[in-house]
Structure 1
Amino acid sequence: MNMKFIFGGIAFLILLLLVAGCTQPAAQQATPAPTTEPTTEVPATTAATAVPTTFVPATPGPTDTLQSNWAVSVQVQSNGQAINPQVIYTFNGGMGMNLIPEIDVMLTRSDGTVEIGNFTQPMSIGQTVSLPGTTGNNDRAEVWVITPQGDRVKIVDKYVPFRSYS
């Protein structure tokens, strides 16, 4: 007989716990009431927020190919120095080196900073542009060629490893 009261009491407590947990009202969402009078804009204040420590630039996208008479080559690599990491863009020439008015280079660093540089006429083989990089392996390098017609064509879009052991 005592066992019936013990099991009955335990079952009653479990039932009370289940009912208490399931009967709480759902959180009400406040909807703003429509106003008929004009409101004045209050300037927004910015609050300091924590910046994520690792930023991964967007995934490199597809690149285009220039016409053969406008073709140029740009090599991108890191200097591999931990004290002063740099991403070096080297102009390697091509059939269009005297026709292309400008080559824009862009580096999206792993911390989210964007660095920009360019090659302008007169261009020479071996000419370099150096942009500050990071020691991470996900700095994204892009090279945009401005054609004689004024179009922008992306010829390089890739991640630049800080160091490579090959």
Structure 2
Amino acid sequence: MQDTIALPLTLLLCAAILFAGCTGSPGPAGTSSPPTGTASGSAPAGGSLTTSPTDAMPANIAETLTVQEKVYDGTIPVIFNGGMEQNLIAAINVTLYRADGQIVTRTIGTKKGDEVILQGTKQTDRVVVYMTMMNGVTYKVADVLSPYTVH
């Protein structure tokens, strides 16, 4: 009697395991494959001074930064203002496309108040900011022209 119950029960258990997907070999513990690529399009070619749309970050991880007005000497302060999930940021890269054709990339720290001061020209320059999250996704969070005005 027990043999007649044990065989169907064993088959049922094997079927449940197969349908649950538990037969694959697990990868190393604690690893997952991060998303590849970026949320934004490709970087501008050859130092273009034409802006393009920025990416909308998910509301639960939205962070803010400020590209301030160009100072009288042509410098452009960029300040990280932080946000609710700033601990999820791996890097913040700021690229300055100068009117004279030079391209300068700098990195800002990921703590509230961290800043970088870029040396622009006394003409209109372009500032593009990319924020890379810990999961590998990169968002273009700012793409602005920074005109020079006589003070």
Same fold (TM over 0.5): yes
**Shift in Å at residue 97 of structure 1?**
1.2
Alpha carbons of structure 1 residues 79 and 159: separation in structure 2 relative to 1, 3 Å: closer
Q: Matches of 2:144 and 2:128 in 1, distance apart?
A: 7
* Higher Rg: 1
1:37-56 matched pairs, under 5 angstroms: none
| Greater percentage in helix | 2
1:3-152 matched pairs, under 5 angstroms: 57-82=48-73, 85-120=74-109, 123-136=110-123, 138-152=124-138
Instruction: Describe the SS at the equivalent of 1:157.
Output: strand
Instruction: Encode CA deviations 1:99-121: one digit per residue, 9 max, x unaligned.
Output: 1111111000010101111124x
Q: Matches of 2:70 and 2:55 in 1, distance apart?
A: 26
Q: Matches of 2:53 and 2:65 in 1, distance apart?
A: 16
Instruction: Encode CA deviations 1:77-115: one digit per residue, 9 max, x unaligned.
Output: 244223xx2111101111221111111110000101011
**Shift in Å at residue 164 of structure 1?**
8.0
Unaligned runs of 5+ in 1: 1-55
User: What TM-score results when the alignment is normalised by the length of structure 1?
Assistant: 0.58
Q: Assess if the C-alpha contact under 8 Å between 1:70 and 1:147 holds in 2.
A: no
Identity %: 32
RMSD: 2.1
2:5 is aligned to none
Q: Assess if the C-alpha contact under 8 Å between 2:81 and 2:113 holds in 1.
A: yes
User: What TM-score results when the alignment is normalised by the length of structure 2?
Assistant: 0.63
Q: Assess if the C-alpha contact under 8 Å between 1:91 and 1:127 holds in 2.
A: yes
Corresponding letter in the other structure for 1:132: Q
**Shift in Å at residue 153 of structure 1?**
1.0
Could you say which structure has the greater relative contact order, defined with CA pairs below 8 angstroms and 6 or more residues apart?
A: 2
Q: Matches of 1:148 and 1:65 in 2, distance apart?
A: 17
User: Following superposition, which runs of at least 4 residues in structure 1 exceed 3 angstroms of deviation?
Assistant: none
1:159 is aligned to 145
**Shift in Å at residue 57 of structure 1?**
3.0
